[in-house]
Amino acid sequence: MTIDHLVYAVPDLKEGVAAFAALTGVEPVAGGSHPGGTANHLVGLGSGRYLEIIGPDPDQPGARPRAFGLENLREPRLAAWAIRPDDLDEAVRRAREKGYDPGEVQPLSRRTPGGVLLEWRLTRRDDPAAVRPVPFLIDWGGTPHPADSGLPQLELESLTASHPDPDALRRDLAAVGAPLDVTQGPEPALRAVLTTPLGPITLH
């Protein structure tokens, strides 16, 4: 299992990126716009991983993006994470055999500010949950990986989860091949500790 990226959802992209830069001392770079009304900024996390800061696209006014609960989001949160299996379709098959359905595999794309079209496939569930502690699966195919594009760097020190039913979450994580330290908590939550030039910070 390889962590591909973490998803940090923000209600206002410009304000969210500025707040993240002030918190960490590192300025994320623009990633691009997605069909459906979202856009992102990125920062590397070392070892082929990155953090995606995603929010409503200011260049698509009027759009009401539903991804990662953005439609009703009021404050930033670590909403999801993705893993990169060696074989996406096989990983989905195995997970279903073990009792967890990662969702249908769908193609997505975005265009970078430089005009390069990035295309990938990922699993998508019709899941209204605000935080998704079970990762979605992603395959970049022949597209250059975003983490290899000279991103400014932070270090991912740890990623953990909490859940009202830790054993159930551990079973679902095992089904997709994504072991994670899980503790009991009142609601599903993700927690990432990052090493930054301004010291360690926690996203949740």
- Quick check: pTM over 0.85? yes
Residue 72 lies in a domain: yes
State how far the Cα of 58 lies from the Cα of 97, in Å rounded to an integer: 42
Q: Dump pLDDT digits (tens) for 3-57.
A: 999 999 999 999 999 999 999 999 999 999 988 899 999 999 998 999 999 999 9
Q: Are the C-beta atoms of 82 and 5 separated by less than 8 Å?
A: yes
Residue 180 lies in a domain: no
Q: Dump pLDDT digits (tens) for 151-178.
A: 999 999 999 999 999 999 999 999 999 9
Q: How many domains does the chain have?
A: 1
Closest CA to 84 of 49, 111, 117: 49
Find the CATH number of the domain harbouring 142.
3.10.180.10
Q: How many CB atoms lie within 10 A of CB 137?
A: 26
Range of the domain at 32: 3-152
